[in-house]
Chains A and B, each alone.
Chain A
């Protein structure tokens, strides 16, 4: 592919890459740097074989750049203020409000019908984005590391300097919050069956 065409194609992905980087890093300037590094690496490298989509390949590069950025950050004097107080995000009891005292559901999950259909719709991915943005910062990072970057739990614990239990609590909170948000903002608004 001629260099000019590739350059234009890569630029088209900048917005999407920025969204992912912002969610992960919670630092606008750093997110922009990481995306820029990603696009430069893509432009100068020869790795794209055309087997996966361009987007998937770029995301792979981005993941590595994000991990590098996180590691670099942690070696610097910790200015963790931008991530807020992690203690507040480690409390599993908040989500006990979803259940009655006897442990049964307060409001059981609704029927989502055939949810996989939603994956083909642009608006659904926008709603997912909206729901991800609502997650508290450390929870969002942990969740993205697990579900987007597909890191193992011990790798995430090392990166975030938290225990396995802490991580499970955060992932639980993320999943329950996202489930609820998707239900409220997408699935509950679609009639299921007749």
Chain B
């Protein structure tokens, strides 16, 4: 029931855009809250977050 309710707040599509954006700019606290709430219950998006972090790390390594 809570999962469903929280799912309404923000979609995976919107989360993917926010996650990318957060790598370049600070996002407002209320957006950060929505993001955290979603990531707490969505394995797919939690994976995306880790993979985006990894991608940044890989690019650093690419030029080492």
Contact = CB atoms under 8 A, between A and B. Distances in A.
Interface of B: 11-14, 16-17, 20-21, 23-25, 43-45, 47-48, 50-52, 54-64
Main secondary structure of the interface of B (DSSP, over half): helix
Interface residues of A, number: 41
Interface in A117-131: 118-119, 124-125, 128-129
A179 B64 contact: no
A102 B11 contact: yes
Interface stretch (A2-10, A73-81, A169-177): A169-177
Interface of A: 20, 53, 55-56, 59, 92, 96, 98-99, 102-105, 108-112, 115-116, 118-119, 124-125, 128-129, 146-148, 153, 164, 167-168, 171-172, 175-176, 178-179, 182-183
A53 B64 CA distance: 8
Given A56-B64, A119-B57, A153-B24, A179 B11 contact: no
Given A109-B48, A109-B51, A148-B59, A176 B13 contact: no
Given A103-B13, A179-B55, A172 B21 contact: yes
